[in-house]
Amino acid sequence: MPSGSAPSRTARHWSSEQSQTFTMAQFDRAGNLIDNADLEIARYHDILRQLDELDLDFDRIRHIKEIVVGYRSRVVEMERELERSGGGSSSRHRDGHRSSSSRHGHSHSHRHGHESSRRRH
């Protein structure tokens, strides 16, 4: 019977080695999955950071647009004030060649001229 017990020890040893090899392979595989997940999480965080930067850039652009709209309305108002104060024929002539809003103001100044000439008669 001593010969029967020797093969079972070898089989147990082989089985233990196989189990240990399998466990180490699974451990390595799990480690690789975790490493890949960590890389994907880092990539995701980088994308979120870039989106935050873009959002901030869009807010800045929106603010600049608001400033430009404000300046444009101030220019239009200043042109109207000049027309009301009798800015002179040279300014009216110049306004007629600038933009559509200026041309509108130009025709508006002509109406004032006609009204004042009617009042004189």
pLDDT in tens, the chain (121 residues): 455 555 688 988 899 999 999 999 999 999 999 999 999 999 999 999 999 999 999 999 999 999 999 999 999 999 999 999 986 555 445 555 454 444 444 444 444 444 444 444 4
CB 83 within 8 A of CB 92: yes
Question: What pTM was estimated for this model as a whole?
Answer: 0.47
CA distance 19 to 36: 26
